[in-house]
Amino acid sequence: MQSSLPASRAALLGWFDLHQRDLPWRRTRDPYAIWVSEVMLQQTRVETVRRYWDRWLETFPTVASLASASTEAVLSQWQGLGYYRRARNLQAGAIFIVEQLGGAIPTTAEGWKTVPGVGPYTAGAIASIAFGEPVPAVDGNVLRVLSRWLALERPIDSKEGRFAIDSLAADLAAGPRPGAWTQALMELGATLCTPTSPACLLCPVSAGCAAAAMGEPTRFPLKAKAKAPREVHRFALALRQPETGAEWWVQRDEQGLLGGLWEFPLLTSLDEAQAAAEPLAHHGDLLHIFTHIRLTVTLCSATEDATEPPIPDGYQTGRWVLLEERESLPQSRLMRKLRERLLLPTG
């Protein structure tokens, strides 16, 4: 039997008051600090963000300090968090607030939506948490929790399914304690109403949950099918001067994957056999292989970029040496490997 919306809402708030995690960004009311936390938390685990949030606020304690910082310093503080566009947008947002809003930080969701890097979710989260505005903030947790609550048969990535979730979220947001409510809904999704093993027996709102009543909460949310990833074959080549130990790096294009970061030059080929021949064909007997990482990249946008940077003067006497060879790696593991071996600190 479905209980009333206000009753379920009150039950979830009561549970949140008792069982919420002690997160550092819940100990502040500084809207800038909350903004930083929300951007860091986009598509990123709480435990990962913990390590960055404190340090970020020590380095850039105010909107003004972030706005006047160098891009290099900003990216350096972000290094390892991923989705580096977020760091650039965060600084662009700080500059926007200083230059366009006269330094006055927005206080409403509508205002926040005009800030670079702040979309519908983040605008609602900041407005409700930092300013108490009764607006919804629908993230992946909320999509999951509410789709289970409704036993929603429409996929959440369809227009109709998303509309149903947004409608319910808006109704629920219009009640007491908007900030606590926003966090309570996400907290439930993060700790009890989890993707693979929901703890319905501990859930404060299971009595009103249609999926729990059906006995199969993990059937929701429904999702449309994902497409198959495409493959790209690449070589990472690193040149080092034996005498000095100096290594040859190139900077990636500002746009796209790992934009603006440093790496060994990569050769790209759609054909595996051609890729296997490229490094030696290009460098002949003049050089030995220093680093020769054979990579299969999925979901990589660099397919067309097969140009090889010229080897700068003074490195011609270096040696190419085989360091490692891999059959293939998924993107996440590939990037881990690239970061371990290829990425330089930016600051």
Partner DNA sequence: CAGTCGTGGCA
Partner DNA sequence: TTGCCAAGACT
Residues noted as catalytic: 38
Contact between 54 and 24 (Cβ < 8 Å)? yes
Stretch that binds DNA, among 54-62, 65-73, 115-123, 171-179 (CB under 7 A): 115-123
Q: Which two tokens stand for residue 254?
A: 């500002």
Strand blocks (E) in the chain: 231-238, 250-251, 262-263, 266-269, 291-298
DSSP letter string, 117-159: T--HHHHHHHHHHHH--------HHHHHHHHHHHT--S-TTSH
The residue among 156, 150, 134, 129 whose CA lies nearest residue 205 is 150
> Which positions from 178 through 197 interact with DNA, judged by CB under 7 A?
183, 186-187, 189-190, 195-197
Contact between 169 and 138 (Cβ < 8 Å)? yes
Contact between 142 and 156 (Cβ < 8 Å)? no
Per-residue contact string for residues 246-265; x = within reach of DNA by CB under 7 A = ----------xxxx------
Stretch that binds DNA, among 57-65, 270-278, 307-315, 335-343 (CB under 7 A): 335-343
Stretch that binds DNA, among 9-17, 58-66, 81-89, 147-155 (CB under 7 A): 81-89
Cβ 75 to DNA, closest distance in Å? Answer: 10
| Identified binder of DNA from the candidate list 6, 14, 61, 80, rule CB under 7 A | 80
* Nearer to DNA (CB atom), residue 91 or residue 141: 141
Residue 116 engages DNA in binding (rule: CB under 7 A): yes
* Nearer to DNA (CB atom), residue 41 or residue 287: 41
Per-residue contact string for residues 205-234; x = within reach of DNA by CB under 7 A = ------------------x--xx-------
Cβ 283 to DNA, closest distance in Å? Answer: 27
Residue 269 pairs in a beta bridge with 233
> Which positions from 262 through 291 interact with DNA, judged by CB under 7 A?
none
* Nearer to DNA (CB atom), residue 287 or residue 295: 295
Cβ 244 to DNA, closest distance in Å? Answer: 28
* Nearer to DNA (CB atom), residue 66 or residue 186: 186
The rounded radius of gyration (Å) of the Cα atoms in the chain is 25
Contact between 108 and 133 (Cβ < 8 Å)? yes
Backbone angles phi, psi at 39, to 5 degrees: -70, -45
Q: Is the peptide bond before 221 cis (omega within 30 degrees of 0)?
A: yes
Stretch that binds DNA, among 101-109, 282-290, 317-325, 337-345 (CB under 7 A): 337-345
Stretch that binds DNA, among 1-9, 69-77, 280-288, 331-339 (CB under 7 A): 331-339
Residue 82 engages DNA in binding (rule: CB under 7 A): yes
The residue among 272, 278, 277 whose CA lies nearest residue 231 is 272
* Nearer to DNA (CB atom), residue 4 or residue 197: 197
| Identified binder of DNA from the candidate list 16, 56, 60, 84, rule CB under 7 A | 84
Residue 29 engages DNA in binding (rule: CB under 7 A): no
DSSP letter string, 246-305: -B--EEPPSSSTTTT-EE--EEEESSHHHHHHHHHHHHTTT---SEEEEEEEES-S-TT-
Separation CA 88–CA 257 (nearest Å): 14
Per-residue contact string for residues 130-149; x = within reach of DNA by CB under 7 A = ---------xxx--x-----
Residue 266 pairs in a beta bridge with 236
* Nearer to DNA (CB atom), residue 114 or residue 241: 114
Residue 48 engages DNA in binding (rule: CB under 7 A): yes
Q: Provide the edge-to-edge strand list for the sheet that holds 291-298.
A: 266-269, 231-238, 291-298
Residues that bind DNA (CB under 7 A): 23, 25, 37-38, 41-48, 80-85, 89, 116-123, 139-141, 144, 159, 183, 186-187, 189-190, 195-197, 223, 226-227, 256-259, 299-301, 330-333, 335-336, 338-339, 343
